Structure 1
Amino acid sequence: MARKAGALLAALAAMLFAAGAGGSAQRVDYAAVALDVLPPGQSGDLRFPPTASDQLPLYDGLTPQTSVTARDLSRYFKSERFGVTGKVVRVEHPRPGLRILRDRWDVPHVYGRTRVDVEFGAGYATAEDRYVFMEQLRGPGRIAAMDVPGIDPFALATSGRQFVPTEATEQRLQDQLALIRDAGAKGRQLLADTTSYVAGINAYYRSKGIGLRPWTVTDVIAVGSLLGANLGVGGGDETRRTMFLDALIQRLGSERGTAIWRDLAERLDPATPVSVDGTFQYDTVTAPGAKNVVVDDGSFEPWGTPHAVGFHFHNPVAASNALLVSARRSATHHPLFVAGPQVGYYFPQILLELDLHGGGIDARGASFPGLSMYVLLGRGKDFAWSATSANSDIVDQYAETLCGDDTHYLFKGECRAMTTFDAGVLKGNGTEPDRRLEFRETVHGPVIGYARVKGRRVAISSERSTGGRELLSAIAFQDLNTNRVHDVKSFYSAMNQLEFTFNWFYADDKDIAMFSSGRLPIRAPGVASGLPTDGTGQDEWRGFESLAGHVRGANPSGGVILNWNNKPGRGFSASDDNWSYGPVQRVKLLQLAVAKRRMHTLASLVGAMNTAATQDLRAISVLPALLKALGPARGGFELQLLDTLVKWQQRGGHRIDRNGDGKIDDPGAALMDAAWPRIADAVIRPVLGPLTDRLKKLLPVDDPANSRGSSYFSGWYSYVVSDLDRTIPEFCGGGDPRACQSSLWNAPVAAGNELVASQGRDPSQWRADATRERITFGFLPKTGRWTNRPTFQQAITFDSHRPR
């Protein structure tokens, strides 16, 4: 009987997929191979059913593999084809016209007779899999939408603390609805889709007797704000960076201090790797000028009182990679696509998978709970798409000239009163009482604090280009999910509607492409976006870049598009809060791995990704410059140290624990871990002196392998290599090559002596601890080996297409 029931369910799935939601035109899947993986698993059930962690063995199983075969793909990924592959395990009927089929991985395949049914089903399935996590997002999302100073909304979401919004906060969210309606037919459809989605969430709550406040469209807006605030933003750290500039000027003088500051910022370093051909001039003014201010060192006073969540300076999220191979470098003569976002590791996972069909929608992939009326990263009928965080500069800080007192400021010749906004109450916890979140605002945005400029007190305000417009970006996903996207040109047009800052990747059966999105401000001539702008009104934004101003490219001359959060295109300035776009970027690991073959298969491309995923960037991209600067070994112990590092590099520079003994297999990793902070300090400190420790707060010395997964995005890797590659170093040894060499040797020797004391005299027995960098999943009592790889990852290729 059970076998017959399973056969009937499988037949039902096939009929639904072939006939479509309304039994009309046949749906066609044009993929030759479609695979994905999302650890630990689809289920968010705190009772830990098998589907809460059944994708972790797939994900972790690939980690030690550097040579990947076609058979390995089906072993370490699951199907991403439209419809259920294999048996239908469960069928749900939340309402007439709607079926939700669950496969062995518990992925919901949603089939609706109408578009309303599909969106309702997306909401219902999302609530079923992630409602506990969704509830944690509603309050922090509102804090993100209001740009409340001093709070990291994503950290708040993971802390479990509650936020009670005011009517004023709710009204600001409601104001977005009019903006969406004004966006025309797509805007009205977005509201209709979101309304149906919310109805599905609430239907699930009612069906299970979950007595929580019903969801509304404004909750979806709030969640969109939270996602954008964490992954789709860049800039907004000008004050802190210019206090460091002021400190450098005081130490080194105006000319040299400014030159060193610009060198460290690396905003337009011509040696940094990029992803597409061409030059895209954006924000090319990097020198301080009359239209900017330099904040006096140490003068900034943040608004409000620091609390348990922590005072927040935005740090760019380093997440995600993409490997796209064009048709001419593919063994099948069709593009290859291996890509995904690195969003960290949690339980429940903050992404979930959906397969949506009906009413013109056909899409499968990953989405974000509370925003999953559309698939955000995945595939359509005959194309795939994914994203990496771009961190383009869409947030600026302004120095407001005060007039009279701290609550009045000068704008366009008029002394204006600041307004006060009451966002709501952040509920207390065991160590903190309730806190009312009130802050002042100017025409530019929230006042984040006060500071001094040449001794004069100013207010510092912050303006975000996407503020009050968060849900509008979902129109881009509407185009993707309804398959309006059908070629590179339509892909560019669709993603240009997305105002958050991401790099987007596309592949069909003929083409590969990339588009860097964002509502990019056009700044007044002479304004350097790396410093606070004079807020008196003469140098306001002049509009926003059109599609033509965005980094984009298709089918590049080299036959590949590779991105690992590196700069998307030449001439495009890094944001003020990102000082890591120098010559050493982890994307070079992908470049080296892909370059080993002229022609690729999907398996070899996955292998290239996975090779880079366990490599230590310092071993591959920093060690050559270091070895050259060190010169010959000075004695037997030094020779042993060099031999340990060189052999590690020759073996690939990997950080793998293949035998599960809790230790990294290669001794070179242990030596580099101990030596690296000393090496970086030896290079930078001779010039910066006590300011070296200040620089560490702006850009960490290292971005090591860790339990969160993503590693080696930021760090002093480029600083070290750039300086050591000079004929005469500028920083190391204070410009004296011999002093530089001597100080550099002290670093590995001190590290070696430390390891001798803790692990013995034989370097071949030294081991780094692999347990501290194992990937963890919150409450889930399972872990995985460290890998520098997307959390959700697709491996897909298409061999045909709809009529063009």
Structure 2
Amino acid sequence: MTVLLVLIAIGLATWEPLTAATAEAPPAHRYDTVIARDRFGVPHIFGTTDADVAYGIAYAHAEDDFSTLQDVVAMTRGRLGAIDGADGAKTDYALHLVQARETVDRDYMTQPADVRALLDGYASGLNAYAARHPGEVKLARLFPVNGQDIATGFVMRSPFFFGLDATLGALVGDAPLPKESAGPQPDAPDITPVGPDGRENGSNAFVVAPRRSADGFTRMVSNSHQPWRGAVAWYELVVHSKAGWNFAGAMFPGAPYPLLGHNEHLGWTNTVNRPDLIDTYKLVLDGDGSHYRFDGQWRPLEKKTVWLPVRLWGPFVLPVPKTVYRAVQGPVIETRSGAYAIHYAGADQLRMVEQYYRLNRARNFDQWQRAMAIQGVPATNFLYADAAGNIAYFYNASFLKRKPGFDYSKVLPGDTSADFEPGTVPWAMVPRNVNPRSGFLVNANSTPFLSAGAGSEMNPADWSPLLGIETDTTNRDNRALELMGANPKISAEDLERIKFDTGVSRRGWTAKWFADLMAADAKGDPQVAAAQALLRQWDWNLDGKGPADALAALLMKTGQSWHYPRKPEADPRAALGEATAYLRRVFGRLDPPLGAMLRLRQGKVDLPLDGGPEVLRAAANWDEAPDGRLAVKHGDSFVMFVQWDKSGRVSSRSIQPFGAATTRPDSPHHTDQSRLFVAHELKPVWFYPRDLKGNIERLYRP
């Protein structure tokens, strides 16, 4: 028996590395690349060609966060479970379910040659770093990687930014489907961790036209809310190629270019939007479950057995078989209550890879719109500004084609084509607000029909209800519109003050929530009554100056947890009880300073924070540390202020919570931006190479 167990253990330990497919490396090429690190460690990457730049992007990012990049590559290979165990295996299952690899294998060679060269250059940069640092490689046969691996990352992650994980998780858990992909539901297991958590989503974006700015400048503020660590954390960079690609912004691990920011001529930023982009169909199966009925005929249910590597402990990896199914509508989930096919936006295509590259290279509004018309990015708001003074908001989505007479917010019959039509509506049908009379546009994850102020909003009647456009509002959007609308002329200082605002609007869901909290029956509980008395003194601001701010921040978090995912309102008395219990347990009082509770923690840095959930100065989510303090992990992440002056010259400033080398504790740039971030200060972005001179910390060829 002991010998048998040893043999099994050896088999488990060796199975995954020996059976994992090794990719063919990109064609050998000598890349002409130079990396200049500025005094904040931000890489400025120079290359003769755009592919040379992509090579340097990968190498520089690997220097700062090779661990996360390996996780992303493992995800594209269906091997994340060999690193992260059962949690990683969920992602591997999702990769197979959405056929990300199959999509890339089918379409990769039809991509434009310059796009493939860019992907190959990025993959080659990762391979070069791995070859020079073999001790950092954490999974056998993960390298070399190639352009197909990088493209697969885009195909895999895109649908999880608009809630596909929520629908999959609800089906797997036999839980109620989320309303309009709202986010994870109670008792619904997360199917994949690669996208942003629906309970924490959020971002702010502002653009101001010359007619509304105090000095005639065009301005843009990028203020995405993402996790501060991991596979969807922002990484800042500036790129320059002799072929004319110049861009400053930020990217996610695994991207060969910035995903938002600016070039000389224009810029854009993104916020998460939540249109209804997922239709669910209940199939009718035959007796043995091998066929499904569709338009009176029995079709074979496509199925494929995949092996998910699951790390158990140490080097031991267990192969777990799983069957994935597919019907005409899309991937199929089999549950106790039946089999469900999922039709979702932007499925089975990799056009987003080219689209982002063309956006980077656009030189004017027309070129930028032509790139958007590729319709590869299946969801996400785009707010745009440029040197010519244009501003625009595109409620971008690959809206599903739908037929009148059916309720697509509910589970649909899957045995007929009457309620199903493949394809995406034309780009011309995508809602947009271009150069509004108000001279400004904002979005903070609200409905697109509230973005430009009174008299300049889009008319909901102009857009088909079949598109499933969201109608939600957030406190951040309400507050932003209040503050922007109150300024006849918005100065640079005004815009900075608005972005870092910690106020809570006295209208919308927050007004009702706090009214309900203060009106709740304390039922003789002196702690609840004391909390209500403290709340009545609150000034509706989470600036850390008032005695009720810590309590209010906790209650904002509770409110966000039901309002944002479109759930019923939480019990106000229970929410007060939970908040007071925490404050008494950790601080022995109900009125500790907000900064004593909310902390920025990284390495040896431990700093107080202001703001909170659902305010413009966002601290969206946190973990309770062993000492009871709340270590923020999600919220204001990469922040960038961009302006074009009257002559069209661009300049920008930025900030991140930690630094360029988030996962390198020994780096001087592990936390060198933290004190600035806490103080609402910004650092310069040296966009033009001539401005970078004198601010270079290190210059080298990778």
**Normalising by structure 1, what TM-score?**
0.60
Matched, 1:797 2:649: no
Q: Structure 2: which amino acid aligns with 1:506?
A: Y
Query: Residue in 2 aligned with 1:119?
Result: 54
2: CA distance, partners of 1:203 / 1:757: 53
Shift of 1:499: 2.7
2: CA distance, partners of 1:418 / 1:632: 53
2: CA distance, partners of 1:783 / 1:715: 33
Shift of 1:335: 2.0
Shift of 1:122: 2.2
Change (3 A) 1:375 1:626: closer
Structure 1 residues 154-188: Cα deviation after superposition (integer angstroms, max 9, x where no partner): x96996679889999999626525535445xxx33
Query: Residue in 2 aligned with 1:512?
Result: 391
Matched, 1:443 2:334: no
Contact 1:422/1:436 (<8 A) preserved? yes
Matched, 1:459 2:339: yes
Q: Structure 2: which amino acid aligns with 1:237?
A: T
SS state at 2:66 partner: helix
Matched, 1:360 2:244: yes
Matched, 1:565 2:445: yes
SS state at 2:52 partner: helix
The more displaced of 316-325 and 522-531 is: 316-325
Shift of 1:200: 2.1
Aligned partner (choices 315, 321, 327) of residue 204 of structure 2: 321
2: CA distance, partners of 1:236 / 1:174: 23
1: CA distance, partners of 2:600 / 2:226: 13
2: CA distance, partners of 1:601 / 1:117: 39
Matched, 1:132 2:67: yes
2: CA distance, partners of 1:793 / 1:108: 17
Query: Residue in 2 aligned with 1:474?
Result: 353
SS state at 2:448 partner: coil
Structure 1 residues 591-624: Cα deviation after superposition (integer angstroms, max 9, x where no partner): 223234221122211211111xx34568985346
Query: Residue in 2 aligned with 1:500?
Result: 378
Change (3 A) 1:406 1:317: farther
Query: Residue in 1 aligned with 2:281?
Result: 398
Matched, 1:703 2:560: yes
Contact 1:410/1:416 (<8 A) preserved? yes
Change (3 A) 1:556 1:244: farther
Query: Residue in 2 aligned with 1:293?
Result: none
Structure 1 residues 326-375: Cα deviation after superposition (integer angstroms, max 9, x where no partner): 2221011122211232111127983212211112311111012211x221
Contact 1:396/1:462 (<8 A) preserved? yes
Structure 1 residues 290-338: Cα deviation after superposition (integer angstroms, max 9, x where no partner): xxxxxxxx9x9x9xxx899899998476121101122221011122211
2: CA distance, partners of 1:350 / 1:239: 23
SS state at 2:34 partner: strand
Contact 2:91/2:193 (<8 A) preserved? no
Change (3 A) 1:701 1:116: closer
Higher helix share: 1
The sequence identity of aligned pairs, in percent, is: 20
2: CA distance, partners of 1:312 / 1:323: 24
Structure 1 residues 625-662: Cα deviation after superposition (integer angstroms, max 9, x where no partner): 8659978999999998766434313xxx233446xxxx
Contact 1:409/1:415 (<8 A) preserved? yes
SS state at 2:40 partner: coil
Higher strand share: 2
2: CA distance, partners of 1:311 / 1:345: 14
Aligned partner (choices 609, 625, 632) of residue 785 of structure 1: 609
Contact 1:427/1:434 (<8 A) preserved? yes
Q: Which runs of 5 or more structure 1 residues have no equivalent in the other structure?
A: 1-93, 145-151, 247-260, 269-297, 453-457, 659-664, 677-699, 705-710, 721-742
SS state at 2:354 partner: helix
Matched, 1:774 2:599: yes
Query: Residue in 2 aligned with 1:237?
Result: 167
Aligned partner (choices 209, 225, 238) of residue 155 of structure 2: 225
1: CA distance, partners of 2:94 / 2:558: 42
Contact 1:671/1:751 (<8 A) preserved? no
SS state at 2:560 partner: coil
Query: Residue in 1 aligned with 2:116?
Result: 191
Structure 1 residues 60-115: Cα deviation after superposition (integer angstroms, max 9, x where no partner): xxxxxxxxxxxxxxxxxxxxxxxxxxxxxxxxxx9663221111111221111233
Change (3 A) 1:238 1:199: closer
Aligned partner (choices 205, 213, 221) of residue 130 of structure 2: 205
Higher RCO (C-alpha under 8 Å, 6+ residues apart): 1
Change (3 A) 1:529 1:768: farther
Query: Residue in 2 aligned with 1:670?
Result: 551
1: CA distance, partners of 2:303 / 2:230: 38
Query: Residue in 1 aligned with 2:632?
Result: none
Q: How do residues 549-588 of structure 1 correspond to structure 2 at under 5 angstroms? A: 549-569=429-449, 570=460, 581-582=471-472, 585-588=475-478
Instruction: Flag the structure with larger Rg.
Output: 1
Change (3 A) 1:414 1:752: closer
Change (3 A) 1:535 1:609: same
Contact 1:134/1:369 (<8 A) preserved? yes
Structure 1 residues 420-444: Cα deviation after superposition (integer angstroms, max 9, x where no partner): 2233323232499542232222222
Q: Structure 2: which amino acid aligns with 1:123?
A: A
Contact 1:491/1:506 (<8 A) preserved? no
Q: Structure 2: which amino acid aligns with 1:122?
A: I
CA RMSD, 1 decimal: 5.0
1: CA distance, partners of 2:421 / 2:262: 36
Shift of 1:503: 0.3
Q: Structure 2: which amino acid aligns with 1:179?
A: D
Aligned partner (choices 213, 228, 238) of residue 330 of structure 1: 213
Q: Structure 2: which amino acid aligns with 1:173?
A: R
Contact 2:238/2:249 (<8 A) preserved? yes
Matched, 1:214 2:144: yes
2: CA distance, partners of 1:232 / 1:167: 16
Structure 1 residues 113-154: Cα deviation after superposition (integer angstroms, max 9, x where no partner): 23332222223223322321111112334559xxxxxxx99x
SS state at 1:401 partner: coil
The more displaced of 168-177 and 433-442 is: 168-177
SS state at 1:366 partner: strand
2: CA distance, partners of 1:524 / 1:107: 49
Aligned residues: 572
Shift of 1:701: 5.5
SS state at 1:341 partner: strand
2: CA distance, partners of 1:101 / 1:756: 47
Query: Residue in 1 aligned with 2:258?
Result: 375
Shift of 1:380: 0.9
Q: Structure 2: which amino acid aligns with 1:140?
A: M
1: CA distance, partners of 2:584 / 2:105: 65
Q: Which runs of 5 or more structure 2 residues have no equivalent in the other structure?
A: 1-28, 450-459, 612-617, 619-634, 650-702
Contact 2:445/2:474 (<8 A) preserved? no
Matched, 1:429 2:312: yes
1: CA distance, partners of 2:587 / 2:57: 58
2: CA distance, partners of 1:632 / 1:156: 44
2: CA distance, partners of 1:520 / 1:796: 31
Shift of 1:529: 1.9
2: CA distance, partners of 1:627 / 1:384: 41
SS state at 1:792 partner: strand
1: CA distance, partners of 2:576 / 2:70: 52
